[in-house]
């Protein structure tokens, strides 16, 4: 996997400080709220920028809630008096995070489902038949050697019509990556240009565009931002639907078992 720092993530420190310092009006502890409703203190917190996703099962007499600030997952713990919350990590005597798996499940699914829809509307290049029964998205940099390995490894599935890869082009690895990506996007047949790049990758791939259009610049920037929003820090970054319909992700070049998970049986 090629690891790249695409853009700076804004810190949520200021938000957390606001949550613990801002006055919040809570209902008296004896008040009974419907189980389907959030405690009032959590409703107030949502007004300050957090999204509460659901309640988790945690020990110690606390109530735990999965939340997110943008795409950043957070665990929030409500004290028994319903008047205070703690934002952070709850660990046991062995240092094990008591809510990590639940938090991931709550946060990951809506982000990935939303991300899948954004991928559908992104600038991508089709690699394979339009009526292929399986669609796989992959963020691809023209200079990425592991993207090239994935392209070659996927040929049996693509060539037999079982999979269509959708290459969401980014230009982040080398100085000429944006110009190469633009050359592919702006070609008369982007699919053929992508194939040319991958087949000749060891010899430098496609020639960079002499000038990048504003449209290509906007597409590449949008794709890179989307990749970062989905939690990836390098290419290839692969998004696919599992056999149960849920969305899976994989960063880097898949091994043989992962290839079948992503692409299906040959």
Domains of the chain: which residue ranges? Answer: 2-108, 121-263
CATH topology of domain 121-263: Glutaredoxin (3.40.30)
CA distance 126 to 231: 23
The pLDDT score that the predictor gives to residue 87 is 87
CA distance 53 to 50: 10
Contact 46, 52 (CB under 8 A): yes
Tokens of 9: 């993530």
The pLDDT score that the predictor gives to residue 11 is 40
The pLDDT score that the predictor gives to residue 25 is 33
The pLDDT score that the predictor gives to residue 246 is 86
Domain 2-108: homologous superfamily in CATH: Disulphide bond isomerase, DsbC/G, N-terminal (3.10.450.70)
The pLDDT score that the predictor gives to residue 97 is 86
pLDDT in tens, the chain (266 residues): 654 443 333 344 444 444 443 443 333 333 333 335 788 898 888 888 888 888 999 988 899 998 888 767 889 999 999 888 888 888 888 888 888 888 877 776 776 778 899 999 999 999 999 999 999 999 999 999 999 999 999 999 999 999 999 999 999 999 999 999 999 999 999 999 999 999 999 999 999 999 999 999 999 999 999 999 888 999 999 999 998 888 999 999 999 999 999 999 88
Contact 212, 179 (CB under 8 A): yes
Contact 141, 177 (CB under 8 A): yes
């Amino acid at each position: 996997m090629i690891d790249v720092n695409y853009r700076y993530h804004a810190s949520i420190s200021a938000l957390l400080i606001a949550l613990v310092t801002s006055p919040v009006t809570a209902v008296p502890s004896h008040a009974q709220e419907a189980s389907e409703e959030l405690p009032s203190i959590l409703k107030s917190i949502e007004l300050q920028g957090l999204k509460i996703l659901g309640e988790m099962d945690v020990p110690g007499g606390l109530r735990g809630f999965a939340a997110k600030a943008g795409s950043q997952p957070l665990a929030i713990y409500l004290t028994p008096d319903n008047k205070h919350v703690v934002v952070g990590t709850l660990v046991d005597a062995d240092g094990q995070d008591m809510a990590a798996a639940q938090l991931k499940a709550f946060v990951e699914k809506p982000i990935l489902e939303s991300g899948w829809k954004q991928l559908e509307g992104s600038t991508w290049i089709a690699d394979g038949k339009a009526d292929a029964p399986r669609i796989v998205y992959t963020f691809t940099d023209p200079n990425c050697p592991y993207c090239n390995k994935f392209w070659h490894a996927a040929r049996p599935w693509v060539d037999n019509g079982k999979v269509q890869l959708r290459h969401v082009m980014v230009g982040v690895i080398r100085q000429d990556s944006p110009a190469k990506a633009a050359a592919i996007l702006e070609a008369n047949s982007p699919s053929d240009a992508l194939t040319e790049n991958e087949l000749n990758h060891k010899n430098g791939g496609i020639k960079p565009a002499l000038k990048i259009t504003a449209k290509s610049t906007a597409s590449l920037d949008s794709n890179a931002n989307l990749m970062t929003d989905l939690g990836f820090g390098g290419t290839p970054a692969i998004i696919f639907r599992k056999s149960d319909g849920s969305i899976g992700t994989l960063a880097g070049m898949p091994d043989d078992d992962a290839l079948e998970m992503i692409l299906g049986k040959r």
